[in-house]
Structure 1
Amino acid sequence: MGYYVKVEPDVNIYVEDINRKSQHVIFFVHGWPANHNLFEYQYNVLPAMGYRCVGIDIRGFGKSDKPWEGYSYDRLADDIRCVVEALGLHNFTLAGHSVGGAIVIRYMGRHRGYGVSKLALFGAAAPSFIQRPGFPYGLEKEDVNGLIQQVYNDRPNMLADLTNMFFYLPITKRFSDWFFQMGLEASGHATANVLVSLREETLFSDLETIQVPTLLFQGVHDQICLPPLALALNQGIRNSKLIWFEHSGHGLFWEERDKFNAELADFIANY
């Protein structure tokens, strides 16, 4: 079931809500530059295991409204809070991939983990997406600047190149087309502005606020959110559990989907 939640007077966020009768909620926040469909291979399985899967399109992406402004981590985290309150969610698992991981970490800090009982981060773009003084991990700032320039010069070509980086295992042409199309559904300005947030913002202080059990998934071959980021998160988040995906790049939700789904369900049920 799909519907919209108003998060500002002129901004509506699209919500995909599967198996609404279940009290066991997983709230998924996708990464850049995709939308809620990124987790199709979780929505196919987890509801049959008794979970309600709530997926949103962050503003500027997918079916959500595409305002000119509002792409800071703070505003994106506030959008999550609006959806959580509108749906009356409590005692739920909050899950984020890539920049979605960064957004949910900011939610934990800014909103004191409102309603969240467990946190799951998949190839998260945190605590800093780029290298900084005292943090020699992540991509270089110039790499992100280059992506922003490509968005403004030739966004379809940038998305095609990104698809090739995203996955470690071979993908079919039709799967590549499906993934590429998700990126095209975003607005160009949102695609660029979220990259600006990835370049400029950090989450070191937010990590210190996380009190709930936290699951970390990381692809060994990830070329986008590099593996040292997961080690930094594991060190910075109390009561966190890191699971490596040996045959995955950034697309571990698909590349090792059976392991992904089983480990996530086990964490929610037993950790």
Structure 2
Amino acid sequence: MPTFTTHDGTEIYYKDWGNKNGPVITFSHGWPLNSDNWDNQMFYFASQGYRAIAHDRRGHGRSSQPWEGNNMDTYADDLHELFEHLDLKDTTMVGHSTGGGEVARFVGRHGTARVKKAVLIGAVPPIMVQTESNPDGIPISVFDGFREAMLKDRSQFFLEVPTGPFFGFNRPGAQTSQGQIYSWWQQGMIASFKGTYDCVKQFSETDFTEDLKKMDIPVLLLHGDDDQVVPIGASAKKAINLLPQGTLKVYPGGPHALPNICTEEVNKDIAEFIGA
């Protein structure tokens, strides 16, 4: 099982599939998931001659569960250490949800010397929580409710999220996949309680405005206009105005879980963007 150890002793698990000499594409997962949530994309791109890499963020999946360091700066620094460990260059970075924030913060802290393009899917930037300067954001009470639900019965909460808004299975006429629900629950339940609890603050309250401004590379935003987790009006439609070279594609009726629900279209859009 491939792992590497960060400077603070945290062991990070990662997958490294496909052609080791091929063009590099990395995937950063959402909360409270792990690299398994990218398996469809990983398989697709590895099968097309790419080198596809995805890691389990600290506190998630098969990586260590440290009590400290569950914050966006450290997430980005861990990923940068993985880039250095594997000596990745000319990389296309892909991030979903919280992972989109991780990609933005990576560039904000470490620049684009190793990165040529980025794709942010249903991503949290620029900032999710409602503030005086961000009146269109989500009230902090919603995220407080996440934390309260975790403390009361994390297992039940981690069933309710995928059964409802994450995949859009709560919409009339939606074709529900019990397998997707169980997979989400399983990924969430093997994650660190402390790590996932701390991460709620990170994906909701981190301001990525300045990070987006520093993304001086082509960036593709993919977002569903029926995203019930990261509403498009408070995220992608604002982020596009901050990116120096941004392109926004809206998926009509698309839910938050675009990589899972709109798999073929997402893969095609990423592939076309990389080749452009």
Question: TM-score normalised to the size of structure 2?
Answer: 0.94
Q: Are the aligned partners of 1:95 and 1:104 in contact in 2 as well (CA < 8 Å)? A: yes
Match of residue 249, structure 1, among 245, 252, 255: 255
2:45 and 2:121 mapped to 1: Cα distance?
16
Q: Are the aligned partners of 1:138 and 1:225 in contact in 2 as well (CA < 8 Å)? A: no
The answer to whether structure 1 residue 129 and structure 2 residue 134 are counterparts is: no
Matches within 5 A, 1:190-229: 190-228=195-233, 229=235
2:132 and 2:24 mapped to 1: Cα distance?
39
Structure 1 residues without counterparts, runs of 5 or longer: none
Report the equivalent of 2:167: 167
Question: Per-residue CA shift, 1:209-231, capped at 9, x if unaligned?
Answer: 11000010001111111111111
Question: Per-residue CA shift, 1:121-180, capped at 9, x if unaligned?
Answer: 001011102112122233211100110111122111111111121012432222211221
Aligned length: 269
Give me the identity figure in percent: 29
Matches within 5 A, 1:67-86: 67-86=66-85
Q: Are the aligned partners of 1:215 and 1:267 in contact in 2 as well (CA < 8 Å)? A: yes
Q: Which amino acid aligns with 1:188?
A: F
For the residue of structure 1 that corresponds to 2:215, the secondary structure is coil
CA apart distance, 1:9: 4.0
Q: Are the aligned partners of 2:32 and 2:191 in contact in 1 as well (CA < 8 Å)? A: yes
Question: Per-residue CA shift, 1:240-271, capped at 9, x if unaligned?
Answer: 1111112421110021111100010000011x
Q: Which amino acid aligns with 2:198?
A: N
For the residue of structure 1 that corresponds to 2:146, the secondary structure is helix
2:206 and 2:87 mapped to 1: Cα distance?
29
Q: Are the aligned partners of 2:42 and 2:53 in contact in 1 as well (CA < 8 Å)? A: no
CA apart distance, 1:28: 0.4
Structure 2 residues without counterparts, runs of 5 or longer: 169-173
Q: Are the aligned partners of 1:5 and 1:13 in contact in 2 as well (CA < 8 Å)? A: yes
Q: Are the aligned partners of 2:96 and 2:120 in contact in 1 as well (CA < 8 Å)? A: yes
Give the 4+ runs in structure 1 shifted more than 6 A.
none
Report the equivalent of 2:25: 26
Matches within 5 A, 1:1-271: 2-163=1-162, 164-168=164-168, 169-228=174-233, 229-270=235-276
1:58 and 1:114 mapped to 2: Cα distance?
22
